[in-house]
Amino acid sequence: MMNRWHVLKRLLPLLAGMVLLLSACGRADLSTLRPQGPVAEEQFGLMKLTITIMVVVVLIVFVIAGYVIIRYRRRPGDKSIPVQVEGNHKLEIIWTVIPIILLIIVGIPTVNSVFGLAKDYTKDPNAVQINVTAHQYWWEFEYPNLGVKTAQELLIPEGTIISVEAKTADVLHSFWIPSLAGKVDTNPGGNVNRMYFKADHTGVFLGKCAELCGPSHSLMDFKVKVVDKASFDRWVAAMKNPVALPEDQEIATVLNKQCLTCHAIGDKGVQLYPNLTGIGSRESVGGKLINTDQPEYANEGSVEENLKTWIKDPQAVKPGTLMPKVDLTDQQIDAIAKYLAGLKLDY
């Protein structure tokens, strides 16, 4: 008795730690355990079915094992050899047939979902088509039928099928929005993987890269912003509006020479690295520095402060990023951050 209590006492902190760890699960914007759309719900349903069956099996096996260990333990003085029951036909049939039945129960809905969720919506006129391109360490989102390209923040209408074709520009990544749908890999070698999902209601959901892709893999976050259909249409229109360069000639020149040689803003610049159109209305800078101007989050700085932090030393925020430390004075950085923070979209 004493011994058992010792073991339990040692296990208690471990159990407490696990409870604490697991209590962080279930954030509605980040968890497969709180599905926010039909695809995620279907996948969660499979998880629940599988886990329920596994728990029942484990419980029954443990109860039988416990019973047998206690009931048939060797008594003091007993030197006899127990009855040997190998090759018992009845038992072998029972423990072969039960797992087969359980596998069929798990298998039918799983196979059904695997084929159902592979449905091709790429030609569906009612779906929003999105080409996702993964880069070390950012995400490019192109809306081929709407003529819009953006980065780091995927804006989608609620209650609409979103049809995704995903590829990579460099190494293997994996596109994942835990609360909306399971992962899809982006494979090198030019192949394109397809998936679809739907968000039931408006909100901001967190997206992740789910495949180790380099030193800043864990910082390769993006946001999925679900808005109502009218807002989505306004956003598409706003993305296409011409954008004015900074009034200050010096800053306009710096922007042209240092920023727009890689980035695009509206109709200006080059589309090599993240498109900056409307960056002032995004939830984050570099996908990682969360803007406090956005009501959903509050821990870092305003868009403008985060832009300064990012431009001053991108490597400090995201080690391995291709964004170089540009040769700018502090005043120039401040002015450019201010200009970019002012690039807001009404939608």
Tokens 């010096």, located at residue: 250
Helix (H, G, I), strand (E, B) or coil at 168: strand
Q: Which contacts of 52-58 are long-range, i.e. CB under 8 A and separated by 24 or more positions?
A: 53/102, 53/105, 53/106, 57/102
Of 175 and 197, the one with the shorter C-beta distance to Cu ion is: 175
**At closest approach, how far in Å is the CB of 164 from Cu ion?**
16
Of 35 and 207, the one with the shorter C-beta distance to Cu ion is: 207
Of 102 and 171, the one with the shorter C-beta distance to Cu ion is: 171
**At closest approach, how far in Å is the CB of 218 from Cu ion?**
9
d(CA 15, CA 334): 50
**Where is 103: in which H helix or E strand?**
helix 89-116
d(CA 84, CA 82): 6
**At closest approach, how far in Å is the CB of 20 from Cu ion?**
29
Of 132 and 236, the one with the shorter C-beta distance to Cu ion is: 132
Of 171 and 262, the one with the shorter C-beta distance to Cu ion is: 171
Question: How do strand 268-269 and strand 264-265 relate by DSSP bridges?
Answer: antiparallel
**At closest approach, how far in Å is the CB of 261 from Cu ion?**
25
Question: How do strand 222-227 and strand 153-157 relate by DSSP bridges?
Answer: parallel
**At closest approach, how far in Å is the CB of 183 from Cu ion?**
11
- The residues binding Cu ion (CB under 5 A) are 173, 209, 213, 220
DSSP state of 279: G
**At closest approach, how far in Å is the CB of 324 from Cu ion?**
20
Nearest Cα to 327, choosing from 259, 261, 269?
Answer: 259
In the chain, DSSP finds a helix count (H) and a strand count (E) of: 8, 14
Q: Which residues make Cβ contacts (< 8 Å) with residue 214, sequence separation at least 6?
A: 136, 137, 171, 320
CB 151 within 8 A of CB 239: no
Which segments of 156-313 does DSSP mark as H helices, in order? 229-240, 249-254, 303-312
**At closest approach, how far in Å is the CB of 287 from Cu ion?**
11
**At closest approach, how far in Å is the CB of 168 from Cu ion?**
8
DSSP state of 15: H
Of 162 and 213, the one with the shorter C-beta distance to Cu ion is: 213
Of 168 and 306, the one with the shorter C-beta distance to Cu ion is: 168
Of 208 and 344, the one with the shorter C-beta distance to Cu ion is: 208
